[in-house]
Structure 1
Amino acid sequence: MKNKLFGFVLLIALSVSYASSVLAADNYSLPWKGAEITEVTYDEYGWPTVHFIVPSEELISNAEAENPERKTIPPLTEAPEVGTTLGKILKDGENLDLTRASSYEEAYATFSIGECAWYAYGRFKEVHDIWLPLTQGMGGIKEWLQNVRLSDGIKAEYSINDVPEQSIAVYIPTEEFRDWPGHAVFVEYVERDENGTPITIYYTEANGTYDINKSKFDPDYDGTVRRKTFDEFKNPYGLELKGYILPNK
C-alpha cells in the first residue's frame, strides 16, 4: 500500500511537470523502464504531457523518487573523462522528449536535432528540470543572455571569469563572423586553482563545428565530454564568450 501511495504522489508531480514530444504515432519515450502510460493530454500549442505510473520496484531503486517534485542532477565532484557521455537522455536517440520537439524556429535559424541550441536546451532541462523559454521569444543564441526572464527561475551571469558549473555558456560571433547565430555549450565541471580561478573547463555540446545546416545527432561527438583550458574556452574560433545562463537560486 505504501509503494502504491508513493507512486500516486509521484504520478501527480510528474503529471504536472513532465512533457514528452511525439516520436512517432502513439509512441512516447518515458524515463523509467516498465512505466505505464495512463493518459496523454495536450496544451494550447499542441505539446503533449504524458501521465504515467512507475512500478513500485522502480520507485524504491530510483534515487529521484526521494524528491519527486524536482528531478535534478547534482554537480560533479571530480573531472569527467574526456569522450564519455554525460547527457544520457539526449544521447539516446529514442529519447528526444527533453527538447519538446525535434526542431524549433528562432530569429536567426531553425535549430534542429543536433544543433548546439537543441543540445544546450535539453541538457539544461535534464540537469536542472527547468525549461528555457525558447518559445517565448528568446531569439537567436546571441540574444539568449539579454532575453533570459527571471520569472522562469533562470538568470544571466555576465562575469565570464566565474564559469559556474552546470550552466550554459553563451558565445556571440566576432565582427568577422557577425552573421553567425552564436554558439552554446553546457559547462559540466571546472578545475580551479587555490584562489578559485578557472584553469580547465569540461563541457558538452552539439555541433562543435558550427554547421548551420546540421539536422541530426552525431553520437561520436554530440553530448560527449570536451576539455579546454580557460583561455581556449573563452575565445574559440570566430566566437567570443559573453556570459552564462544558470538557475536563479
Structure 2
Amino acid sequence: MKKKWIAVMTAILAMSSTVPALAQHIYAGDDVEKVVSYDENGRKVITLIFDPAKMPEEVRQQLGLGSPAENKENKAQSKNISTAVKLTEPPKEGEVLANIQYADETGRLRYTSPYYTYGYGQCTWYAGGRFEEVHGIHISIHGYAKEWLDSSRWDASLEVVTDLSSVPEQSIAIYVPKTDNRLAGHVCFIEYVERDEKGNPLYIYYTDANGKKDTVKNAYTPGVDGMVIKEDYQTFLENSQLKLAGYLKVKE
C-alpha cells in the first residue's frame, strides 16, 4: 500500500513538469498548490504541486530533496549572495545573478533558502525568491501572478507602484492579461534600469523564470531561469497577451 501511494505521488509530481505554459495557479493551503491549465483541445487540466517540506521521506529521496532536518541545516549553512546594493552599471546579458542552488559537502545540489519552496520553475517562485535573496524580505503572496498587486496591499513591508514609467530597480514587475482572463499573468525581477538625462527609462535589465526566454516551461532550468534579459522600455511594457500593471518594491 505504501509503495502504491508513493507511485501515485511520483506520477502526480511528474505531471507538474509538463503543465502548459498558460497555466494558472490556485493556492490551496500549506500542503498543496493547484495548477489549472488547458491542453491543446481546450480541456481543463488540474495538477497538484506538493510542498517539499511536507512530503514523505521516500518521495523526497526520489526527487533529490533532503529531509526536513537536512534542509534546516542546509539553510543555515547555505551562503546567499546578497545584491541589496544597487548595481552601478548594467549586468551582462545572459548572466545569472541569483544564487539559486549550491553543492553540499557530498556534491549534491541543494536549493538555497529563498528558493527552497514549491512551484520550482514558476515565475512566482523565482520572483519571490529573488526578492527575498536581495532584500531579506519573504513575500507571503500566493495565487496567480496577475493578482500580486492586489494581494500585496496588506503587506506592511511592500509598496505598490502603479506609475509604470518609474520602473524602480530591484522591484517585481507584475503583468496582467490584456483580454484572456484565463492567463495567469507574469512576474519578473528588475535588476537594473538605464535612463536618459531626464531619468526616463530606456533599457530594462530583468530576470525571471518561465518567461519568454525559458526553454523548458514549468520546471527549473539552470542557466536559463534567472538569466539577465535586456529590453527597451516600450518592449518591456507589453507583449501580445500581457501588459505591465505595476511594481512591488520595499516600502521606504
- Verify same fold: TM over 0.5: yes
Q: Name the counterpart of 1:127.
A: 134
1:196 maps to: 199
1:132·1:152 contact (CA, 8 Å) conserved in 2? no
Q: 1:97 aligns with which of 113, 136, 139?
A: 113
What does 1:104-183 align with in structure 2 at a 5 Å threshold?
112-134=119-141, 138-175=142-179, 177-183=180-186
Residues paired across the two proteins, number: 181
1:233–1:91 Cα change, 3 Å: farther
Gaps of 5+ in 1: 1-20, 36-61, 65-70, 104-111
Taking structure 2 as the reference length, the TM-score comes to 0.65
1:243 to 230, 246, 250: 246
1:24 and 2:66 matched = yes
Distance in structure 1 (CA, Å) of the matches to 2:99 and 2:223: 13
CA apart distance, 1:185: 0.5
Question: CA distance change for structure 1 residues 247 and 116 in 2, over 3 Å: closer, same or farther?
Answer: same
Q: What letter matches 2:138 in structure 1?
A: W
Counterpart residue type for residue 176 of structure 2: I
User: Residue 81 of structure 1 aligns with which residue?
Assistant: 92
Which amino acid in the other structure matches residue 239 of structure 1? L
Percent same amino acid at aligned positions? 37
**1:180-221 deviation per Cα after TM superposition (whole angstroms, max 9, x unaligned):** 10000000000000000000000000011499x944211131
Say yes or no: does 1:205 pair with 2:248: no
1:116–1:76 distance in 2 versus 1, CA, 3 Å:
same
Q: TM-score, normalised by structure 1?
A: 0.65
- Alpha-carbon deviation of 1:149? 3.5
What is the Cα-based RMSD across aligned positions, in Å?
A: 2.7
